[in-house]
Amino acid sequence: MTTFSLSPEAAEPLIHVAQRNLRRLKTVPDLAPRYTGHDKVLTLGDIAAVPPLVKDDLNVALAHLQPKAETGATWLFQSGGSTGAPKVGYAPTGFYMTGVYEQWRPLDRDDVFVNCWGAGRMWGAHFLAAAFADLSGCQVIALGSVTKDEYSDWISFFNLRKVTAIGGTTSVLRLWFAHARANGIELPSLRKVLWLGESWHSAVDEDLAAVAPNARRWGMFGSTETWVVGTNTPDCPMDTFHTLPAQLVHFGDDELLDFTTLNPDMLNPVLRYQTGDAGQFVECACGRGMGMKILGRRDSVVQVRGLGLHVDDIIAQVEREPGVSRAQVLITELRGRVSTVDVLLLTDQNATPDLAERLRKELQGSTFTISTAFQHDPDSFQVKVVDSLISNDRTGKTSNFVVRDQS
Ligand SMILES: [Zn+2]
């Protein structure tokens, strides 16, 4: 079975980029020891032998390497930081979108495109989509995020401007289309829905069928560390993406994907970086050859409203507290969107009466994902003392986090 997204013939002319990144990573004092004995990356086999980068490793590397773009600005973006300050990823102006545009053309000069990815807060997707629209030569409405009571007015404006395309994270798109459907509003000109940042949700299809029956989905897959790795079209399954020629994707025995950049302009030294996503390569139903099918996450980073929540870090922090014997994170979803996050506590005789409320304030103050995701509804994050944690019906095991669908 193929375990790389590229053939040796396609990858090896660009493999010097991986060799250069190995050389850079070996200069990082905290990471150097793991690369002992790995000096040359000349083949795909050499890449598969290099130890993977996980979680904070890239951040450690970037803090030491301080990369700078060859031309233009060096942009700093946050990449799913959960505890304390956000983790930081780097990108040059342009955000590597020329490679995406070469393979993927959802927009053309006649499109009127609404960019609904949130701008600011060191989020990358809004600017990445703007760079892509620039290459596409379409008309752009840079909207960013708006509040619920503004939806109807904006949708009227979209129709006035004959908006043909809209882009955002799946949970934001879901809010727009659910609102339109609930209020009987249609978007007759809308043809294209661009998405990135979360997996697609079939609930959006249902709303689209009612609100904009001519609209079809166009997806990008990536992370702030790797940037865009692959794209898909309306003819591809929603979980399958065609990888870019400068992105070398590999999966190991456990189906965990790792990503290696072969793009010489990439500022993040991405060499076998594991995002926690599992996947495999399949023949895509669209007929355009092999695609990367995403099988979901295999680690403890859970997406909460577009941000990565590092569940294990939270559990570790809470369980260090006197009086807490065990903790568990309960994530409740409503129609594909995280509605609440609860930290459940089993306590012992050392627990003080104010323990839960004190921990709630501490976590809200120190956890970037929680403070940002719940800034408009802080009560949706709670810490609760319980009599028992939730165990898996089948195995009886109690894991660090449970996701419950309340739709
Ligand atoms: Zn396809």
The per-residue pLDDT for range 121-142, each reduced to its tens digit, is 888 999 999 999 999 999 999 9
Q: What distance in angstroms lies between residue 203's CA and the mean position of ligand 1's atoms?
A: 21
Furthest CA-CA distance within the chain: 68
For residue 206, being part of any structural domain is answered with no
For residue 31, being part of any structural domain is answered with no
For residue 367, being part of any structural domain is answered with yes
Q: What distance in angstroms lies between residue 292's CA and the mean position of ligand 1's atoms?
A: 9
User: Quick check: 51 and 37 in contact, CB under 8 A?
Assistant: no
For residue 370, being part of any structural domain is answered with yes
- pTM higher than the cut 0.75: yes
Q: What distance in angstroms lies between residue 128's CA and the mean position of ligand 1's atoms?
A: 22
Q: What distance in angstroms lies between residue 289's CA and the mean position of ligand 1's atoms?
A: 7
Those residues with Cβ within 8 angstroms of residue 215's Cβ, 6 or more apart along the chain or in another chain:
187, 190, 191, 192, 193, 208
Determine the structural domain holding residue 308 and report its residue range.
301-405
Q: What distance in angstroms lies between residue 290's CA and the mean position of ligand 1's atoms?
A: 8
For residue 88, being part of any structural domain is answered with no
Q: What distance in angstroms lies between residue 106's CA and the mean position of ligand 1's atoms?
A: 14
For residue 201, being part of any structural domain is answered with no
For residue 57, being part of any structural domain is answered with no
Number of compact structural domains in the chain: 1
The per-residue pLDDT for range 363-393, each reduced to its tens digit, is 988 888 888 889 889 999 999 999 988 876 6
Q: What distance in angstroms lies between residue 179's CA and the mean position of ligand 1's atoms?
A: 30
**Domain with 341 in it: what CATH number?**
3.30.300.30
pLDDT in tens, the chain (407 residues): 579 999 999 999 999 999 999 999 999 999 999 999 999 999 999 999 999 998 689 989 999 999 999 999 999 998 754 444 667 899 999 999 999 999 999 999 999 999 999 998 888 999 999 999 999 999 999 999 898 899 999 999 999 999 999 999 988 898 899 999 999 999 999 999 999 988 888 789 999 999 999 999 999 999 889 999 999 999 999 999 999 999 999 998 778 899 999 999 999 999 999 988 889 999 999 999 999 999 876 667 777 887 778 888 888 889 888 999 889 999 998 877 889 999 999 998 889 999 999 999 999 888 888 888 898 899 999 999 999 888 766 556 677 888 888 87
For residue 208, being part of any structural domain is answered with no
Burial 129-168 (b: 16+ CB within 10 A, else e): bbbbbeebebbbbebebeeeeebeebbeebeeeebbbbbb
Q: What distance in angstroms lies between residue 235's CA and the mean position of ligand 1's atoms?
A: 6
Q: What distance in angstroms lies between residue 280's CA and the mean position of ligand 1's atoms?
A: 14
